[in-house]
Amino acid sequence: MARKPLRVALLGFGTVGSSVAKILVERPELGDHVQITHVFNRDVARKRTSWVPASVVWTDQIDELFAARPDAVVEVVGGIEPAGGWVRRALMGGVSVVTANKMLLAAHGPELLHLAATNGAQLRFEAAVAGGVPLIHGVREGLSGDRLIRVAGILNGTSNYILSRMAGGDEPMAVVLADAQRLGYAEADPSADVDGHDAAAKLVVLAGIAFRRHLRLDDIPRQSIRPISGADFRYARRLGCTIRQIAMVEARDGAFHAFVGPALVLRGSPFGLNMGANNVVTIAGHYGGENSFSGAGAGGLATAVAVVSDLLSLTQRTHERGEEWPSARVVPPAARPYYLRFVVHDRPGILASIAAALARQRINLDAVLQEPGYPKDALPFVITVEACEDAPLRAALDEIARLEFHAEPPLALPLLPSAVAEESGAGPQTLGDGPRP
């Protein structure tokens, strides 16, 4: 028997909402499956457009939209409130919701999933992570037979644009960030992107899909990309690496460790090869090994494709059971090697002081590298250390940071993977004259 089309109300008619409508209007063959009945937006008169079918009701009254009893609501307003209240109202009424709102899901995902499951509704959010990349569907459907152990990815296009451009020309962070803002890649306040908050929210959602567990956003350590300099990319190249903002969560002994921040990755890896504003995610499974997903991580049309795909899935899976995300315990990361960069006022004894502080925490040096051409009053050099726990490394760096020779605060970045020395051919050595011990 032919089904009636899914009657859909759009909450928000900005970049993504208008792109959803555009796809549905330009693909009339989808009309037998999905039809927009209402568009809600504040100051709706300025949003009204002639290319949307005349049958669509435009309103700035949320009660009018819910009184029409749509089959599904698309929430692309963003933010936690009032969007959260509207999503709850829909789910409690048995109305399915499709959303692109990663901040709402990161804050209240378990509650919203529970509401959906207990009220016979669906909550779908393919567009909340990696834009138009079919990541959530790929993990849910394509990898459900595996036991997943790690999810890692570049989830923020703005940071990737900045870092990949810096890698290509050693331009200062401030110059590249200003250009990213001018081109529309970065907001006037770029904190959510460059300080890792956006990627952390997406990681919460992705962990829920991969592991069916909820990591609290506040439990995910975040490190900003702001301290990264051209010198760091120069040293990274000597190690066969480049630098990217990585979001990672890994299952470990019944718990999880997670982080978001800049890390050294091999230049030939999927992360190192990812350029511009694109996203890439690798999923590691116990049986199937690694699988990668990549593509446009942002943009109205790319994100709208994911929303429309979720709407079409609702027309095919009306009896699908909901899911729950129990709370997860977050623990410190496993031991891993690190890249340590220091910028110092050069004088005798610097290397000996740093090595002694690391030795007191039983941290072994792997390599010492110094590139020529930098001034003595702001001399950058790098120490790589063998795999160590995070806590003793932080203790050593706290001690080192109190010493008087620093021109800039020390910087520590994880080395992913641990085989950097083997890949680059860099063993324990000092390049150039080095800070005098």
SS3 212: coil
Residue indicated by tokens 């009220």: 119
Sequence-separated (6 or more) residues with CB below 8 Å from residue 104: 75, 79, 80, 83, 84, 87, 112
**Hey, what amino acid is at 161?**
Y
- Domain spans in the chain, listed from the N-terminal domain onward: 6-124, 135-296, 336-424
Determine whether 202 is an active site residue: yes
Please report the pLDDT score of residue 322 as a whole number: 67
CATH superfamily of 6-124: NAD(P)-binding Rossmann-like Domain (3.40.50.720)
Name the β-bridge partners of 245. Answer: 262
Q: What's the CATH number for 336-424?
A: 3.30.70.260
* DSSP 8-state code for residue 222: B
pLDDT tens across the length of the chain (437 residues): 457 899 999 999 999 999 999 999 999 999 999 999 999 999 998 999 999 999 999 999 999 999 999 999 999 999 999 999 999 999 999 999 999 999 999 999 999 999 999 999 999 998 888 777 788 888 888 898 999 999 999 999 899 999 999 998 878 999 999 988 888 778 889 999 999 999 999 999 999 999 999 999 999 999 999 999 999 999 999 999 999 999 999 998 889 999 999 999 999 999 999 998 889 999 999 999 999 998 876 667 888 999 999 999 998 865 556 678 999 999 988 899 999 999 999 999 999 999 999 999 999 999 999 999 999 999 999 999 999 999 999 999 999 999 999 999 999 999 996 433 333 343 333 333 344 33
**Hey, what amino acid is at 5?**
P
CATH superfamily of 135-296: Dihydrodipicolinate Reductase; domain 2 (3.30.360.10)
Residue of 191, 189, 187, 188 lying closest to 225 (CA atoms): 191
In whole angstroms, give the CA distance from residue 160 to residue 155. 8
Residue of 27, 33, 26, 8 lying closest to 313 (CA atoms): 33
**Cβ atoms within 10 Å, residue 275:** 14
Q: pTM to 2 decimals?
A: 0.88
Please report the pLDDT score of residue 298 as a whole number: 65
Active-site position among 4, 22, 102, 202: 202
**Cβ atoms within 10 Å, residue 282:** 19
Q: What is the DSSP string of 95-153?
A: -EEEE--HHHHHHHHHHHHHHHHHTT--EE-GGGSSTTS-HHHIIIIISTTS-EEEEEE
